[in-house]
Amino acid sequence: MSDAPADTTVRHNRAMAVDQEPLRILLVDDHRVVRAGLRMVLESEAGLEVVDEAGDVRDAVFKTRRHTPDLIVLDVMLPDGDGVEAIGKLQAEAPQAKVLILSMEDSGHHVRRAFANGANGYVLKDAAEDELVSAIREVAAGGRYLHPALGARMIQADVEERERAAADPLSDREREVLRLLAQGHTNHEIAAQLYISVRTAETHRAHIMQKLGFSTRSELVRYAIDQGMLERS
């Protein structure tokens, strides 16, 4: 009699283990050695199953349609296209699929672009195996994952960008227009040199004046000299 509850519990736990589906993963990377290493790492983990591999965007789209994986581990640089640009195509085939970028690219630009295009996580290829597994589980659970070092780097880049903007509020195009204005060019001449309309040149000039708080050309000339755009006379 005393063994019955324990036996029932064992059977119940076994049933739950059978019923629980593994996380189905598609690996997308153009290097076979990398894919083989990833497969070995992931399939050694409980609850993870690599359903297939792809070496380029076209194959990845085909195999996403075939398997409708739960999660796609995706490289950025692929032979026939940009992995980040392919995220939309992959999610069109499997809307429920999460996407984890695994790349050597560590710039803030690549990270922001990945998330903007629908990625759920971003891990570098030199990450430790346990970090990759943690990232997969975090993303699969509905969260987002970004390597701490990448996050810190992006924060620093944002701080530096804000400092640059505070020191010089003008855009690159506005600086071009300012330099030409300070050299004495008219709006028509500026438009011709920059291949823009006269109206656009006038708009740039108005924005420059507004941002810098100036009202005369002489003020623009002094500012341009101070910024190293013109030689001092």
- Give per-residue pLDDT as tens, 16-41: 444 578 999 999 999 999 999 999 99
* Per-residue pLDDT at 141: 95
Q: Using CB atoms within 10 A of its CB, is residue 117 exposed (0-12), middle (13-18) or buried (19+)?
A: middle
* Per-residue pLDDT at 164: 62
Element (H, E) at 61: helix 57-67
Ranges of the chain whose pLDDT falls below 50: 1-2, 4-6, 8-18, 232-233
Lookup: tokens for 227: 């910024």
* Per-residue pLDDT at 82: 92
* Per-residue pLDDT at 97: 97
Lookup: tokens for 210: 């507004």
**Rounded Cα–Cα distance for residues 232 and 221 (Å):** 10
* Per-residue pLDDT at 147: 82
Contact 79, 55 (CB under 8 A): yes
* Per-residue pLDDT at 103: 93
**Rounded Cα–Cα distance for residues 52 and 112 (Å):** 28
Single pTM value for the model: 0.62
* Per-residue pLDDT at 2: 42
* Per-residue pLDDT at 80: 93
